Structure 1
Amino acid sequence: MRHNPPRLYNFAAPAATAQDDLSDQLMSFSSKLSSKNNSETRLALDPDETVYIVFIGINDCGTTERDELEPVIQDIFDSALHDLYVRAGARNFIIFDVPPVDRSPQALESESSDLIEDRVETWNETLQTQTTEFGLSSTEATVFLSSAHQVLTDVLDDPLEYEFSEGDPADEGGGIWVDELHLTSEVHDILAEQLLRAVLNSVPDA
């Protein structure tokens, strides 16, 4: 049986935060679904065949105080994801937590590693709680939480296992960090492989 290649619609924006930009990203997506668009520009998405991936929070952890993160995450679920579920008919969600950016060259060089680590820990703990609650309340949806934090931690702790060099975990422009904060395409490939493996393992007889 032949399968058509998946279509990808990317609504990410550089330096975006959930607090300031997620609503605009959602509006951009919603406009593509609008009946005002002609058939050539309007998105026609089958709920059973469409997966909504949410990977946000890195910039929030860099700019928002720890005690202000919980309401930001709450709004992601109460507004953005709820709207996707109710208005767009979204039924399949994959949500990524925040990777250990406290171990990025930027955090290490600015001596903000401990501060960022606390924020990332708070974000991920709250995200896990909210993801569970969203999955329970959205009875027609499948909600999957993928840990970018665990995957990147494994890479940073044992870079040789993933065919990186011993110096890559701290090096800007190396095999792991393309710059002071962002991950290389090689690391994104590892994230994708681990996600696919986890999803397949969660499906009976997959």
Structure 2
Amino acid sequence: MALSKPLEDLMRLFERFPGIGEKSARRMVLFLLQQPKGFSEALAEGIRKCSSSLHPCSICGNITDDDPCSICSDPFRDKSTLCIVESVEDLITLEQAGIYNGLYFVLGMLYSPLEGEEVSPQVLERLVKRVSQGDIKEVILAFSPKVEGELTMNLITSVLDPLPVTVSRLSYGLPVGGSVSFADRTTLHAALEARTCLKRGEGRQ
């Protein structure tokens, strides 16, 4: 069955969402078309506003409409700990769990040399600058326990090795091959509380 070009084009756009295949994209598009016109207009306006007003925080990389973001500018956050996460989604997951009150740094990707994905030197420079210029005593590596996560933790540990900070990782309370973004609050809390030290810092007591 041939589909109209506007319908097919919209389905192709929905297929670009993570975890959305052809059938799911078709269901979502057909659902959208069955809604009142106001729903489509409100959705389009919401996307437009987010696209025009949201941007990465210049300090941590969180998505925000202010710079710095509300986390970086909060005077009540624990400024002695810095949690490094892969994505903004992971940051939001930890925040919503309510188990961590320190600062963040969004790396934006994981190190995967076999797939040609390397962490930008500029990002690593920003990380080193952030850690060395602040009052940070501990860096927590909160990556999903998979090969790419392990490689990224090794990379960051080596980059931070000259600095007098403790480097720790989340406990294996997270299932191997699992994802920080999909972990429940109890699992995240156990992983954070039982984090493993990778490097002991000296001088920032």
TM range (shorter): 0.3 to 0.5
**Higher relative contact order, chain-length normalized (CA < 8 Å, sep 6+):** 1
More helix by share: 1
**Which of 1 and 2 has greater Rg?**
2
Q: What's the TM-score, normalizing by structure 2?
A: 0.41
More strand by share: 2
Q: What's the TM-score, normalizing by structure 1?
A: 0.41
